[in-house]
Amino acid sequence: MTQETIKVEGMSCMHCQLRVKKAVEAVEGVQRADVNLQTKQVTIDFEEGKENLEKVKATIRETGYEPV
Ligand SMILES: [Cu+2]
């Protein structure tokens, strides 16, 4: 498993937090995503060999938030 942490701007409440979590967890190769509203950090656990951070970032953007 590989873990990556990115920062995401634009999340303001628990609804945003859940939307981002669900969207990221639906990306192929993502095992789990944890979203921290306070720190704006999204921690992503990828399956070995299926790390695709660019796809995750694109999905977050499509969902309406801004990965930085
Ligand atoms: Cu919200």
Q: What is the pLDDT along the chain (68 residues), one digit of tens a residue?
A: 899 999 999 999 999 999 999 999 999 999 999 999 999 999 999 999 999 999 999 999 999 999 99
Measured in angstroms, how far is the CA atom of residue 15 from the centroid of ligand 1?
4
Strand pairing partners for 42?
6, 35
Q: What does the pLDDT read at residue 52?
A: 96
Element (H, E) at 19: helix 14-25
Strand order in the sheet with 2-9: 30-36, 41-46, 2-9, 66-67
Measured in angstroms, how far is the CA atom of residue 46 from the centroid of ligand 1?
25
Measured in angstroms, how far is the CA atom of residue 5 from the centroid of ligand 1?
20
Domain boundaries, given as residue ranges, for the chain:
12-47
From the options 3.40.50.300, 3.30.2270.10, 3.30.70.100, 3.40.50.2300, give the CATH code of 12-47. 3.30.70.100
C-alpha distances out from residue 34 to 44, 50, Å? 7, 18
Q: What does the pLDDT read at residue 17?
A: 98
